[in-house]
Amino acid sequence: LFSPVEPEFKYVGNMHGNEVLGRELLLQLSEFLCEEYRRGNQRIIRLIHDTRIHIMPSMNPDGYEVAAKQGPDSNGYLTGRNNANGVDLNRNFPDLNTFMYYSGEINGPNHHIPLPDNWKSQVEPETLAVIQWISSYNFVLSANLHGGAVVANYPYDKSHDQRFRSHRRTVNTPTPDDKLFQKLAKTYSYAHGWMHRGWNCGDYFADGITNGASWYSLSKGMQDFNYLYTNCFEITLELSCNKFPPEEDLERQWMANREALVAFIEEVHQGIKGMVSDENNNGIAGAVISVQGISHDITSGDTGDYFRLLLPGTYTVTASAEGYQPQTVTTTVGPAAPSLVHFQLKQDAVKKPRERKASGTRMNNKALQKKVVPRATRRGTQR
Beta strands 343-344 and 272-277 are: parallel
Helix, strand, or coil (residue 302): coil
Between the CA of residue 267 and those of 10, 263, 310, what are the distances in Å? Answer: 12, 7, 10
Classify residue 293 by burial, with Cβ atoms within 10 Å: 0-12, 13-18, 19+: exposed
Taking the C-alpha atoms of residue 65 and residue 77, their distance in angstroms, rounded to an integer, is 15
**How many separate helices (H) and strands (E) can be counted in the chain?**
9, 16
Is 234 part of the annotated catalytic residue set?
no
Q: Nearest to residue 20, comparing CAs of 237, 188, 242? A: 242
61 phi, psi to nearest 5 deg: -65, -30
What distance in Å separates the CA atoms of residue 110 and residue 367, rounded to the nearest whole number? 13
**What DSSP state is assigned to residue 74?**
H
Handedness of CA 7, 267, 56, 112 (dihedral sign): positive
Find the distance separating the first CA and the last CA of the chain, reported in whole Å.
Answer: 37
Residues 89, 82: Cα–Cα separation, whole Å: 7
Residues 134/230, Cβ–Cβ less than 8 Å: yes
Question: Rounded to whole angstroms, how far apart are CA atoms 29 and 57?
Answer: 10
What is the distance between the alpha carbons of residues 61 and 42, in angstroms, rounded to a whole number?
34
Catalytic residue among 19, 24, 238, 267: 238
User: Rounded CA gap, 81 and 63, in Å?
Assistant: 6
Residues labelled as active-site residues: 238
